[in-house]
Structure 1
């Protein structure tokens, strides 16, 4: 073998190793381990496009305190019209995501229609209610025609199995035990997540809870808790990278933001 051929092979090997190393770095570009070099407190320094994670003034998640909310009857009841739709289940290393491939319905906020695009899972919950974090948070991400975004969050405590997750368990197993990171989940029905009648909820302006931590996100956090089995949460944790087993961002400062609250008033005669 000539020296020039050997040099070319070495260069190709070096390039291949570099590409593989960069791929691994991309997969582990940030972590949820506080105190680590790529942990939450350092997200804003890891990538210029993520600087809002470090200097943003309207970051999420936050602690929602009943004693500090503004009762706002004008918000009105949640207006949703979800429907079953085709979806894939994707493991992006940091969390498990339901990605809708057809029309899954929408939510209306201030007369604006927001289409449901995807659903994420975080454990423990990212938001806290009066200082308490729960066992799971499901985040339903919506987008309007003019690219505005809204997220509806439902918090869960341990108890009965959640029917929505029960329907996904086989698919979660597939992306946990094979090299596939995305599988066809068939038809997924988001209505299984919001089975509460006229739930009370919090509303505030915040951000995405993972890089790039984009702000100007309208958050709706349902007050009533759902239930999920420990087995279901364990399955979600086992599917992601080790640095995202507890994939909840630390609570962020409220920074004088207003948090609005709606609850349907009831009298002895029924709903007012």
Structure 2
């Protein structure tokens, strides 16, 4: 259970995950080969050392890991197209969050720094990659540090670095879940950085599936076994039109991004006038709930 009243909570449980689909099984021999390929790829990534921090190297390693697991990847035309042409800053890439595979899929399309919960850095398979990608970790139950994280993200964006975030705050078995948390959108506003909404969808033999979802009390090992033992699994990365901060506050920008990711015609709130105080304008303790509003 989350220790903070402000922490994101998903209603999804292990019961949401499709675990026995017709035609899903890859068979023991295929599963063993996938594990062997995965181990070899991870060893290669470890041996790459500092080179793993290079964008093209990181992209190649992420693609290799997806292929090892038998997960096919597709993305429209120019990928995420970040940084946005003509922009003087990096891009805030915001996506829905379903699985630990999300990180691999996004890095395989467009390597960038990632904002992730602290536990991700310790996960097998993705932990090494996200650390080398320049990931900034956040403690979801210790949100007093959130204003500092927002300031750091703003500085990264101003420096030209693009950042991938999952503003839903937790994983859902499908779709974008509840409205996006707004704190990271403040970083885009502070930096004057464009926002690129992205939708991640998973399919099994072309039909939508919840099989890759990592939700509830399930373990990483169980999720990895389920993915490695499945045939015909694919992930699609769908980028949407860029959102530009002028004329918005974090509330309206988050709502627009959520609407784009969900494909819904949501009622987007008008920016507040005057806007909510930024994290720099309120006391440190008060800044946490203010940023989440």
Instruction: Give the TM-score normalised by structure 2.
Output: 0.23
Judging by fraction of residues, say which structure has more strand: 1
Please identify the structure whose Cα radius of gyration is greater. Answer: 1
Instruction: Give the TM-score normalised by structure 1.
Output: 0.24
